[in-house]
Amino acid sequence: MKPSEERREQEAEETPAADFFMGIVLMALSTGVGYAAWSWPRPTGMSSAPGLLPFLIALTLFIMSLGVFVTSLKNRGFQRLIRFFHSGDFQKSLAGEDTKLLRFALATVLIYTVFLLNLLPFEVATFIYTAGSLYLFWRAKIYKVLILAASATAFYSIIFKVFFRLTLPGTGI
Partner 1 sequence: MESLWIALREGCTFNMLFFALITIVLGIVWGAMPGVSTVMAMALLVGLTVKMSPYEAIMVLMAIMVASMQGGSIPAVLINIPGKATAIPTAIEGYPLTQKGEGGLALGTTIVSSFIGNWIGIIALILLVPLIMAIAMKIGSWELSLIALWGIAICGTLTEKEKPIKGWISGWLGLLIATVGVDPIHGWHRFTFNQPELVDGVGYIPIIIGLFGLTEVFRALSSPTVITEAKPVGRIIPKFSMVRKHFGTILRSGFIGLVIGALPAAGANIASFLSYIAAKQRAKGEERERFGKGSYSGLIAAEVADNACIGGDVLPTLTLGIPGSTGMAILLGALNFHAVRVGPAMETHHPGLLYFFYISLIIVNILTCVVALAMIKPAVKVLTLKKEILMPLIVPLCAIGAFGINESVFELYTMLAIGLVGVALAKMNYPAAPMILGVILGPMIDENLRKAIMIFQGQQASIIDILSRPVGTLMLVIVGFTFYKGIFPRKGRI
Is the CB of residue 81 less than 8 Å from the CB of residue 17?
Answer: yes
- Write the DSSP assignment of 17-54 as a string of letters: HHHHHHHHHHHHHHHHHHHHHHHS--BTBGGG-TTHHH
The reply to whether 68 sits near partner 1 by the rule CB under 8 A is: yes
Member of 3, 4, 39, 43 binding partner 1 (CB under 8 A): 43
Scan residues 113-132 and list those touching partner 1 (CB under 8 A).
113-114, 117-118, 126, 129-130
Beta carbons within 10 angstroms of residue 158's beta carbon: 10
- Write the DSSP assignment of 141-157 as a string of letters: -HHHHHHHHHHHHHHHI
The reply to whether 24 sits near partner 1 by the rule CB under 8 A is: no
**Residue 96, SS3 per DSSP:** coil
Residues near partner 1 (CB under 8 A): 15, 18-19, 22, 26, 33, 36-37, 40-41, 43-45, 47-48, 50-54, 57-58, 60-61, 64-65, 67-68, 97-99, 101-102, 104-106, 108-110, 112-114, 117-118, 126, 129-130, 133-134, 137-139, 148, 152-153, 156, 160, 164-169, 173
